Amino acid sequence: MKCPRVAVYPAIALALAGAGLAVTAGAADEPHKAQIEALRKSLEKYQDYKVAVRDLYLSTVGCVHYSGEKMAHHMEYAKGAMGVHFVNVTVQGPPDPMKPNVLIYEPTGKELKLVAVEWLVPLTPDLKERPSLFGQPFMGPMEGHEPLIPKEYVHYDLHAWVFKNNPLGMFAPTNPDVSCKDSDFALLEGPTKMMPGP
């Protein structure tokens, strides 16, 4: 399967997220093991990115990775990568544990391998509390991750590494075992500013 050369669409740029929640590997996901396994099975078809595109998960092209830089009043991401985000802007409303609005792929040679999913929730006036799934509170709120997301797009998000083990934990935002070295569009992102929430 070849890497897609899909342009970054403005609507996708507004929907892309880049953070999650770090926990000890295997600890927090154990009570939700059956639900996570059901999620994994329901998304298996998206191992083929072309199926994801047909279902309106559209590629942002950039392979996102972080240096581990820390800044006061900014979100902290361990050194590692997320990968290439495929965003479905038609998935809206409260986060659905079986319907993430972001699929994340790792470039491996000339192929893309599905490694994780992400739920992205914009901060709106009607959002009264921090969202959570699988017993995990979302990270944020935070500014959008430039250059893919405008700073004005304040949001919460949560990653789940359901297709690749993450030594930092299933819900960590970055994975040191994921690499952007095989991507023509590696994108090193810096820390994202934290914002006040409900």
Please state the φ and ψ torsions of residue 99, each to the nearest 5 degrees: -140, 75
% of the chain residues with pLDDT over 90? 62
Burial annotation 38-69 (CB, 10 A radius, 16+ → b, else e): ebeeebeebeebeebbeeebbbbbbbbbbeee
Rounded-to-integer distance, Cα 122 and Cα 102, Å: 13
Residue 34's CB: how many other CB atoms inside 10 A?
8
Give the pLDDT of residue 145: 83
Q: Which residues pair with 85 in a beta bridge?
A: 104
Stronger pLDDT, 59 or 3, i.e. the higher one: 59
- Per the prediction, the chain carries an average pLDDT of 85
